[in-house]
Structure 1
């Protein structure tokens, strides 16, 4: 299951409350989830997961798959079952899928902007995700054509500015290298182009040029050995993606893919 059952149960408990007086609609019905705007689909299997937890009698038939583009008026899925159960799950489904589609749509826009300049640069997310929704948001980034980046702190070692401030660049890298498995990559965040070669010489597999102008990133990339990957991050917008893609950097990571994505407007219509 994309989302853990306990997470879905928490969503439903939050929304249903203790006394839903509208929970009195009789009979069975059919409902459709319809796009009210253009975008990229993500999280479509959340509907099946939510409704299966809520009521086993509900069936869901997706009309599209994650990664597909939809236009205003397109049907994303059809659900059939007890009317009261469909209506009780409506808001959770619309909120979750709408948010996922928003992340996928924003990611697709960033990838499209990057492809104007480079066919190889990756657009990646960050750990700036909504607590409890990381699985949903990371999958949405992939649906939009992006890269998840690290999924959590155990997925890759990242030596950040605060580590360097406390330990020094070389000592921080050496310490983390000694503690990490041989299978784990080490990424090091630097704040000036000249620190890139230092990080590489100390053992970095990836150098992250943080909060730099495109010109500074380009200078930093030029100084790195060929076997070290480069990444740019920090305040990069969809509008400035082409400038950073032109620097020759391997990865552009953007927290805004998740923390600033607007939900895709969706409508849940019964009686269809």
Structure 2
């Protein structure tokens, strides 16, 4: 659910203090139209914007559905002034979220063509204030949210290891984390993967390794009979996904799903009654 305070902030940013442009009398009907093919997401946020302005809304597709160019994904009916006040915010949010969902769907498709079990996940590289929308868009595209925030999982990174050592860092956080909290450990060489597992990691993050190095790390984890998940991450693009999916990892995480997704082109069209 999108808080009213968030919607008001979005609208205020766009409308400013003296909005003359949208002083249009009467009632109108509107429709949000896809101008290119893609996976739709963000409809919940767009709906919340129009409902906040007392404009009736009807979605014609669900988040996660694929739309073709020309398809109507949302319809509105209400005061022209309020409809026009909300349309740009609704278009921007839906277009951005749909771009994230579309990119995620393509990454998932490429992974599943190689290995049905591989998960595609996003990261915390999200736009401030829009994390919830972007994470839900990843899910709409068939991906995994990964941790939603720092409280969901402990990640032992290179700076922690530099301060406390690999084993010491894992022990330090294990003593402080709840028994329900998983610990993920970032390693930067195949040799360190089984060491992290032996020291108590639940998930071993193979960071910035090539596909060949990633495969060697997975082989070392299997040889050690380590009961951990293996995750590949670090600058992985959609084009790289098949190579990493073939390495045997359980998860491929990609910051680019949220920070570099191209907005899906949408258009809002209205006409008087």
- When normalised by structure 1's length, the TM-score is 0.97
Asked if the contact 1:39–1:71 (Cα under 8 Å) also holds between the matched residues in 2, the reply is: yes
Which residues of structure 2 form unaligned runs of 5+? none
Q: Give the SS at the match of 1:262.
A: coil
Which of 116, 120, 125 matches 2:122?
125
Which of 107, 111, 114 matches 2:111?
114
Which of 88, 92, 98 matches 1:91?
88
Deviations, residues 196-242 of structure 1 (Å, cap 9, x unaligned): 11111110000000000001001101111341110000011111100
User: Residue 19 of structure 1 corresponds to which residue in structure 2?
Assistant: 18
Asked if the contact 1:47–1:60 (Cα under 8 Å) also holds between the matched residues in 2, the reply is: no
Which of 113, 124, 143 matches 1:146?
143
Taking the aligned partners of 2:235 and 2:22, their CA distance within structure 1 comes to 46
Structure 1 residue 46: Cα displacement: 1.2
Aligned length: 269
Alignment of 1:139-178 (within 5 A): 139-178=136-175
Structure 1 residue 246: Cα displacement: 0.2
Q: Give the SS at the match of 2:21.
A: coil
Q: Give the SS at the match of 2:205.
A: strand
Instruction: Name which of structure 1's ranges 185-194 and 44-53 shifts more when overlaid on structure 2.
Output: 44-53
Deviations, residues 3-38 of structure 1 (Å, cap 9, x unaligned): 222221111111110001123200000000000000
Query: Over the residues paired in the alignment, what is the CA RMSD in angstroms?
Result: 0.9
Taking the aligned partners of 2:34 and 2:79, their CA distance within structure 1 comes to 23
Structure 1 residue 86: Cα displacement: 0.5
User: Residue 207 of structure 2 corresponds to which residue in structure 1?
Assistant: 210
Structure 1 residue 129: Cα displacement: 0.2
User: Residue 32 of structure 1 corresponds to which residue in structure 2?
Assistant: 31
Q: Segments of 4+ in structure 1 off by > 2 A?
A: none
Instruction: Name which of structure 1's ranges 137-146 and 44-53 shifts more when overlaid on structure 2.
Output: 44-53
User: Residue 241 of structure 1 corresponds to which residue in structure 2?
Assistant: 241
Q: Give the SS at the match of 1:60.
A: strand
Which residues of structure 1 form unaligned runs of 5+? none
Which of 63, 69, 80 matches 2:66?
69
